[in-house]
Protein backbone atom coordinates (compact mmCIF):
# COMPACT_ATOMS: atom_id res chain seq x y z
CA UNK A 1 0.00 0.00 0.00
CA UNK A 2 1.58 3.31 -1.06
CA UNK A 3 1.11 6.84 0.21
CA UNK A 4 -1.55 7.70 -2.38
CA UNK A 5 -3.72 4.80 -1.26
CA UNK A 6 -3.23 5.71 2.40
CA UNK A 7 -4.36 9.28 1.72
CA UNK A 8 -7.34 8.04 -0.32
CA UNK A 9 -8.31 5.70 2.55
CA UNK A 10 -8.01 8.53 5.09
CA UNK A 11 -10.11 10.74 2.80
CA UNK A 12 -12.79 8.03 2.67
CA UNK A 13 -12.79 7.61 6.46
CA UNK A 14 -12.82 11.35 7.13
CA UNK A 15 -12.12 11.26 10.87
CA UNK A 16 -11.76 8.89 13.78
CA UNK A 17 -9.74 7.90 16.81
CA UNK A 18 -5.98 8.31 16.69
CA UNK A 19 -5.41 4.88 18.16
CA UNK A 20 -7.38 3.24 15.35
CA UNK A 21 -5.66 5.04 12.49
CA UNK A 22 -2.25 4.54 14.10
CA UNK A 23 -2.88 0.80 14.39
CA UNK A 24 -3.95 0.57 10.75
CA UNK A 25 -0.95 2.49 9.43
CA UNK A 26 1.40 0.58 11.78
CA UNK A 27 0.25 -2.67 10.17
CA UNK A 28 1.81 -1.43 6.91
CA UNK A 29 5.19 -0.80 8.52
CA UNK A 30 8.14 -3.14 8.95
CA UNK A 31 9.76 -4.06 12.24
CA UNK A 32 8.72 -4.90 15.79
CA UNK A 33 5.30 -3.74 17.10
CA UNK A 34 6.64 -0.82 19.14
CA UNK A 35 8.81 0.37 16.24
CA UNK A 36 5.87 0.09 13.82
CA UNK A 37 3.66 2.20 16.09
CA UNK A 38 6.34 4.87 16.40
CA UNK A 39 6.83 4.86 12.62
CA UNK A 40 3.08 5.15 12.05
CA UNK A 41 2.84 8.21 14.29
CA UNK A 42 5.78 9.80 12.49
CA UNK A 43 4.15 9.07 9.14
CA UNK A 44 0.85 10.66 10.22
CA UNK A 45 2.81 13.74 11.29
CA UNK A 46 4.32 13.86 7.79
CA UNK A 47 0.82 13.90 6.29
CA UNK A 48 -0.15 16.63 8.75
CA UNK A 49 2.89 18.66 7.71
CA UNK A 50 1.78 18.36 4.08
CA UNK A 51 -1.58 19.89 5.00
CA UNK A 52 -3.66 16.76 4.40
CA UNK A 53 -4.99 16.13 7.90
CA UNK A 54 -5.15 17.40 11.49
CA UNK A 55 -3.91 15.36 14.45
CA UNK A 56 -5.79 16.34 17.60
CA UNK A 57 -3.54 14.73 20.19
CA UNK A 58 -5.28 16.22 23.23
CA UNK A 59 -8.58 14.72 22.05
CA UNK A 60 -7.02 11.50 20.70
CA UNK A 61 -8.71 12.17 17.35
CA UNK A 62 -7.79 12.88 13.74
CA UNK A 63 -9.63 14.39 10.79
CA UNK A 64 -8.99 14.88 7.11
CA UNK A 65 -8.76 18.47 5.90
CA UNK A 66 -11.10 19.79 3.20
CA UNK A 67 -9.64 19.86 -0.30
CA UNK A 68 -7.81 23.10 -1.09
CA UNK A 69 -6.17 24.44 -4.23
CA UNK A 70 -3.41 26.92 -3.43
CA UNK A 71 -0.72 28.70 -5.41
CA UNK A 72 2.96 27.91 -4.93
CA UNK A 73 5.25 30.84 -4.06
CA UNK A 74 7.00 32.30 -7.10
CA UNK A 75 4.84 30.35 -9.55
CA UNK A 76 2.09 31.69 -11.81
CA UNK A 77 1.44 28.38 -13.52
CA UNK A 78 1.09 25.63 -10.88
CA UNK A 79 -1.18 25.22 -7.89
CA UNK A 80 -0.95 22.60 -5.18
CA UNK A 81 -3.84 20.31 -4.20
CA UNK A 82 -3.91 19.47 -0.47
CA UNK A 83 -6.35 17.89 1.93
CA UNK A 84 -9.03 15.33 1.09
CA UNK A 85 -8.08 13.44 -2.05
CA UNK A 86 -10.27 10.86 -3.78
CA UNK A 87 -10.25 9.21 -7.19
CA UNK A 88 -13.42 11.17 -8.02
CA UNK A 89 -11.68 14.46 -7.20
CA UNK A 90 -8.75 13.62 -9.47
CA UNK A 91 -11.16 12.66 -12.27
CA UNK A 92 -13.03 15.97 -11.95
CA UNK A 93 -9.80 17.95 -12.01
CA UNK A 94 -8.35 16.00 -14.92
CA UNK A 95 -11.51 16.60 -16.95
CA UNK A 96 -11.00 20.38 -16.72
CA UNK A 97 -7.29 21.03 -16.42
CA UNK A 98 -3.83 19.57 -16.96
CA UNK A 99 -3.09 17.57 -13.81
CA UNK A 100 0.36 16.43 -12.71
CA UNK A 101 1.19 13.88 -10.02
CA UNK A 102 4.85 14.25 -9.11
CA UNK A 103 6.76 11.53 -7.26
CA UNK A 104 7.97 12.91 -3.92
CA UNK A 105 11.58 12.56 -2.78
CA UNK A 106 12.47 9.42 -0.85
CA UNK A 107 11.19 10.01 2.69
CA UNK A 108 13.66 7.57 4.23
CA UNK A 109 10.73 5.47 5.45
CA UNK A 110 11.30 1.95 4.18
CA UNK A 111 7.67 0.86 4.51
CA UNK A 112 5.66 3.79 3.24
CA UNK A 113 6.37 6.81 1.04
CA UNK A 114 4.61 10.16 0.99
CA UNK A 115 1.63 10.62 -1.35
CA UNK A 116 2.36 12.00 -4.78
CA UNK A 117 2.45 15.80 -5.12
CA UNK A 118 -0.71 16.80 -6.99
CA UNK A 119 -0.32 19.96 -9.13
CA UNK A 120 -2.74 21.66 -11.51
CA UNK A 121 -1.78 24.03 -14.31
CA UNK A 122 -3.61 27.35 -14.50
CA UNK A 123 -3.46 30.63 -16.43
CA UNK A 124 -5.14 33.03 -14.03
CA UNK A 125 -6.33 33.23 -10.44
CA UNK A 126 -9.93 33.52 -11.68
CA UNK A 127 -9.51 30.24 -13.57
CA UNK A 128 -8.10 28.59 -10.45
CA UNK A 129 -11.02 29.80 -8.34
CA UNK A 130 -13.51 28.45 -10.87
CA UNK A 131 -11.67 25.15 -11.09
CA UNK A 132 -11.74 24.76 -7.31
CA UNK A 133 -15.47 25.51 -7.19
CA UNK A 134 -16.25 22.99 -9.95
CA UNK A 135 -14.22 20.32 -8.13
CA UNK A 136 -15.95 20.95 -4.79
CA UNK A 137 -12.75 22.36 -3.30
CA UNK A 138 -11.71 25.65 -1.71
CA UNK A 139 -9.21 28.14 -3.09
CA UNK A 140 -6.59 29.86 -0.90
CA UNK A 141 -4.16 32.30 -2.55
CA UNK A 142 -0.69 31.01 -1.60
CA UNK A 143 -1.41 29.29 1.71
CA UNK A 144 2.31 29.31 2.58
CA UNK A 145 2.45 33.12 2.57
CA UNK A 146 -0.82 33.55 4.48
CA UNK A 147 0.13 30.97 7.12
CA UNK A 148 3.54 32.54 7.63
CA UNK A 149 2.02 36.00 7.99
CA UNK A 150 -0.18 34.76 10.84
CA UNK A 151 2.41 32.84 12.86
CA UNK A 152 2.34 33.97 16.51
CA UNK A 153 5.40 34.92 18.53
CA UNK A 154 5.94 31.84 20.68
CA UNK A 155 5.74 32.27 24.44
CA UNK A 156 5.06 30.20 27.56
CA UNK A 157 1.61 28.67 27.74
CA UNK A 158 -0.96 28.99 30.54
CA UNK A 159 0.27 28.93 34.13
CA UNK A 160 0.31 25.53 35.78
CA UNK A 161 1.09 23.80 39.05
CA UNK A 162 3.94 21.99 37.30
CA UNK A 163 4.87 18.30 37.42
CA UNK A 164 3.36 16.04 40.08
CA UNK A 165 6.05 15.25 42.65
CA UNK A 166 4.27 11.97 43.43
CA UNK A 167 3.72 10.95 39.81
CA UNK A 168 6.06 9.30 37.32
CA UNK A 169 9.70 10.33 36.93
CA UNK A 170 10.37 13.95 35.99
CA UNK A 171 12.97 14.77 33.33
CA UNK A 172 14.64 18.06 32.44
CA UNK A 173 16.07 18.99 29.05
CA UNK A 174 19.84 19.38 29.19
CA UNK A 175 20.73 22.02 26.58
CA UNK A 176 24.42 21.09 26.44
CA UNK A 177 23.76 17.37 25.89
CA UNK A 178 20.59 17.99 23.84
CA UNK A 179 18.59 15.35 25.74
CA UNK A 180 16.17 14.87 28.64
CA UNK A 181 17.53 13.34 31.83
CA UNK A 182 15.96 12.36 35.14
CA UNK A 183 16.02 14.93 37.95
CA UNK A 184 15.07 14.54 41.60
CA UNK A 185 14.55 18.26 42.22
CA UNK A 186 12.93 20.45 39.59
CA UNK A 187 13.24 24.07 40.61
CA UNK A 188 15.79 25.25 38.03
CA UNK A 189 14.66 27.25 34.99
CA UNK A 190 14.20 24.98 32.00
CA UNK A 191 12.00 22.58 30.06
CA UNK A 192 10.56 19.59 31.92
CA UNK A 193 8.50 16.57 30.99
CA UNK A 194 6.57 13.87 32.82
CA UNK A 195 4.35 11.05 31.62
CA UNK A 196 0.72 11.79 32.49
CA UNK A 197 -2.02 9.34 31.50
CA UNK A 198 0.52 7.50 29.30
CA UNK A 199 1.37 10.65 27.34
CA UNK A 200 4.31 13.05 27.84
CA UNK A 201 3.37 16.41 29.33
CA UNK A 202 5.70 19.42 29.04
CA UNK A 203 6.26 22.47 31.23
CA UNK A 204 8.52 25.51 31.21
CA UNK A 205 9.82 26.77 34.55
CA UNK A 206 10.97 30.39 34.53
CA UNK A 207 11.54 32.75 37.46
CA UNK A 208 9.49 30.61 39.81
CA UNK A 209 6.53 30.21 37.44
CA UNK A 210 5.38 26.97 35.78
CA UNK A 211 3.74 27.16 32.33
CA UNK A 212 2.26 24.41 30.21
CA UNK A 213 3.79 24.01 26.76
CA UNK A 214 4.18 21.51 23.93
CA UNK A 215 7.34 19.65 23.02
CA UNK A 216 8.06 21.71 19.89
CA UNK A 217 7.21 25.10 21.40
CA UNK A 218 9.08 24.33 24.62
CA UNK A 219 12.14 23.25 22.65
CA UNK A 220 12.03 26.38 20.46
CA UNK A 221 11.86 28.64 23.52
CA UNK A 222 14.62 26.72 25.29
CA UNK A 223 16.96 26.45 22.28
CA UNK A 224 16.62 30.15 21.45
CA UNK A 225 18.40 30.94 24.71
CA UNK A 226 21.54 29.03 23.72
CA UNK A 227 21.51 28.98 19.89
CA UNK A 228 19.66 31.60 17.85
CA UNK A 229 21.21 30.69 14.49
CA UNK A 230 19.33 27.48 13.67
CA UNK A 231 17.80 28.70 10.37
CA UNK A 232 19.82 29.40 7.22
CA UNK A 233 18.34 30.49 3.88
CA UNK A 234 20.39 30.03 0.72
CA UNK A 235 19.00 32.33 -1.98
CA UNK A 236 18.58 30.60 -5.36
CA UNK A 237 16.27 33.06 -7.11
CA UNK A 238 16.84 36.78 -6.53
CA UNK A 239 13.36 38.19 -7.23
CA UNK A 240 11.27 40.75 -5.30
CA UNK A 241 10.78 38.24 -2.49
CA UNK A 242 13.95 36.11 -2.88
CA UNK A 243 13.37 32.35 -2.94
CA UNK A 244 15.77 29.67 -1.79
CA UNK A 245 16.50 26.60 0.28
CA UNK A 246 15.96 26.79 4.02
CA UNK A 247 18.01 24.63 6.36
CA UNK A 248 16.69 24.09 9.88
CA UNK A 249 18.94 22.60 12.54
CA UNK A 250 17.56 19.15 13.39
CA UNK A 251 17.88 20.03 17.09
CA UNK A 252 15.09 22.58 16.62
CA UNK A 253 11.70 20.81 16.22
CA UNK A 254 9.30 23.28 14.61
CA UNK A 255 5.61 23.40 15.66
CA UNK A 256 3.18 22.00 13.11
CA UNK A 257 1.93 25.37 11.82
CA UNK A 258 5.51 26.46 11.12
CA UNK A 259 6.29 23.18 9.34
CA UNK A 260 3.16 23.55 7.22
CA UNK A 261 4.02 27.12 6.21
CA UNK A 262 7.39 25.85 4.96
CA UNK A 263 6.16 22.60 3.42
CA UNK A 264 3.38 24.32 1.46
CA UNK A 265 6.05 26.35 -0.35
CA UNK A 266 6.73 23.25 -2.43
CA UNK A 267 4.27 20.54 -1.40
CA UNK A 268 7.23 18.42 -0.29
CA UNK A 269 8.24 17.35 3.20
CA UNK A 270 11.73 18.43 4.30
CA UNK A 271 14.68 16.17 3.58
CA UNK A 272 17.28 15.34 6.22
CA UNK A 273 20.76 16.35 5.07
CA UNK A 274 23.98 14.51 6.01
CA UNK A 275 24.93 17.58 8.06
CA UNK A 276 22.01 17.04 10.42
CA UNK A 277 19.58 19.69 9.22
CA UNK A 278 16.14 19.61 7.60
CA UNK A 279 15.98 21.18 4.13
CA UNK A 280 12.86 22.92 2.80
CA UNK A 281 12.66 23.92 -0.88
CA UNK A 282 11.21 26.95 -2.70
CA UNK A 283 10.98 29.06 0.48
CA UNK A 284 10.55 32.84 0.03
CA UNK A 285 12.60 35.09 2.28
CA UNK A 286 9.39 36.51 3.80
CA UNK A 287 8.21 33.04 4.88
CA UNK A 288 11.61 32.04 6.28
CA UNK A 289 11.85 35.35 8.16
CA UNK A 290 8.33 34.99 9.63
CA UNK A 291 9.12 31.47 10.84
CA UNK A 292 12.44 32.56 12.34
CA UNK A 293 10.90 35.52 14.18
CA UNK A 294 8.09 33.38 15.55
CA UNK A 295 10.49 30.85 17.11
CA UNK A 296 12.90 33.54 18.37
CA UNK A 297 15.65 32.80 15.83
CA UNK A 298 17.84 35.10 13.71
CA UNK A 299 17.56 34.07 10.04
CA UNK A 300 20.96 33.63 8.40
CA UNK A 301 20.77 34.59 4.69
CA UNK A 302 23.46 33.81 2.13
Of 182, 187, 258, 251, nearest to 219 by C-alpha is 251
Tens of pLDDT, residue by residue over 204-221, are 999 999 999 999 999 999
Q: Angle between the 33-49 and 3-13 helix axes, to the nearest 10 degrees?
A: 80
Tens of pLDDT, residue by residue over 35-84, are 899 999 999 999 999 999 999 988 999 999 999 999 999 988 999 999 99
pLDDT, greater one: 30 or 45: 45
Question: What is this structure's pTM?
Answer: 0.94
Tens of pLDDT, residue by residue over 100-131, are 999 988 765 557 899 999 999 999 999 999 99
Tens of pLDDT, residue by residue over 153-185, are 999 999 999 999 889 999 999 988 889 999 998
Q: Is the pLDDT of residue 246 over 60?
A: yes
Question: CA of 24: how far to CAs of 17, 36, 54, 60, in Å?
Answer: 11, 10, 17, 15
Of 275, 277, 269, nearest to 108 by C-alpha is 269
Name the β-bridge partners of 99: 120
Amino acid sequence: MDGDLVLEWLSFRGHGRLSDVTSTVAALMNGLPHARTKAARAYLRRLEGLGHLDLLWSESKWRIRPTVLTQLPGSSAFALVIGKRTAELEDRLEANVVLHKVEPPNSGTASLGDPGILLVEYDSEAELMELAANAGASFIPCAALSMAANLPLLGPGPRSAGPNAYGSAVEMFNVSQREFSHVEAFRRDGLYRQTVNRRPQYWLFRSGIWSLTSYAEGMCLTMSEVDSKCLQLKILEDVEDPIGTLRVNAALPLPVQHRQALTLCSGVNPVKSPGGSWTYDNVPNSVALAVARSVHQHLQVR
